[in-house]
Amino acid sequence: MNIPVVNGVNQTAGSVRQLASGKWQSTVRLGEGRGAARVTKTFATRKAAMAHLSATRATGMASGEMAQQTVAQAFDVYIASKVLKPNTVQTYVTAKGHVVTSGLGAVRLKALKPSAVVAFTTWKLTAVLKFAAADGALSFAPKTSSVTEYHEEIPVITAADVAKLYEAAPDGFAPMILLGAFCGLRASEACAITVGDIDFLAGMLSVTKASDEVGAMVTTKTARSVRKVPIAADVLVHLGAVAKGKPMTDTLATNAFGQPVAPRTLFTTFSKIATEAGVPITFHSLRKFYATNLLSAGVNPKAVAKYLGDSVQTMLKTYALVAATDADQAKAAMSKAFADVAAA
């Protein structure tokens, strides 16, 4: 990430980049204009460089420079100063878009008042403002009572929306739409699915690994994320057509060059597809579509959580048991959803 300079004033005060040697360099710019000082240090890992960036930025904040940032720029600083997973970065980028659209993004932190954010709600704004307050860039301490934090703002998409996305997707990328909307996979999980992960006879998908931002296979987000997901028969037909002739170790979805799709490529490609389809959503919305359809069909909430690789509320954990018939109910629910998409 480059350090943008506007009117001679450093706006983000930090960057991390990988050198040709493979090492990671953290650079913090302090002060204004040509006379701004730079604090640069090299590390073996990106995580260490990010940690150094976060700690060193405090020096720049002490000079009051952080207070000159706008709310939108504060999002950039927050993202750059944290070691976040690709999905998490995407949610912050989406939240920043909502902030900019609302008009709040152009307000400088030093001029921000509690009353300016009382009526504005986004699920990541609270974290960013608290981060800025801790650095002395705000004149008030944001609280959840003044800035409501939502876990999800994106509305549930319709079957017609999924149909538009599927039609707009390139052939190699199309399986991503199916894995998200009809299997509820996270982006990092969908990128890691290989042909051998699908049991076409049993109609089950095994989620055992994930892909990091550059496409390397890594462990799943949590131990709970390792799971088996029932797949509707109609979805299996489409996935089978894609998998036909491929080695068991090949990824199901591919990029324009026939190579595995890394999460960062998935986000970029999906964004273009969503724009072309006129459906302004993130890939995560497909996961919500999956969960909503299962719940609407009466599938046991605990089974839904199991298929998503997520937790449920304590009450549901205690009283809702996973029955043997839940997999059949899930398949039936996704068959109906798939039929709606096909007919849209």
Cβ neighbours, 10 Å, residue 25: 17
Identify the three-state secondary structure at position 319: helix
Q: Give the chain's residues under pLDDT 70.
A: 1-14, 29-39, 56-67, 115-123, 135-136, 143-156, 313-325
Bridge partners, 70 (sequence order):
108
Q: Whole-angstrom Cα distance, residue 50 to residue 337?
A: 43
Bridge partners, 204 (sequence order):
199, 230
Which DSSP symbol is given to 252?
S
**Tokens standing for residue 337:** 């959803």
pLDDT value of position 138? 77
pLDDT value of position 204? 96
Q: Whole-angstrom Cα distance, residue 333 to residue 181?
A: 12
Please provide the CATH number assigned to the domain covering 159-343: 1.10.443.10
**What type of residue sits at position 154?**
I
**Tokens standing for residue 233:** 């028969």
Cβ neighbours, 10 Å, residue 1: 12
Q: 23-76: per-residue pLDDT in tens?
A: 988 877 654 444 445 667 888 998 888 887 777 655 444 344 566 778 888 888
Q: Measuring CA to CA, which residue among 86, 153, 101 is closest to residue 126?
A: 153
pLDDT value of position 163? 94
pLDDT value of position 30? 52
Q: Where are the domains of the chain?
A: 5-134, 159-343
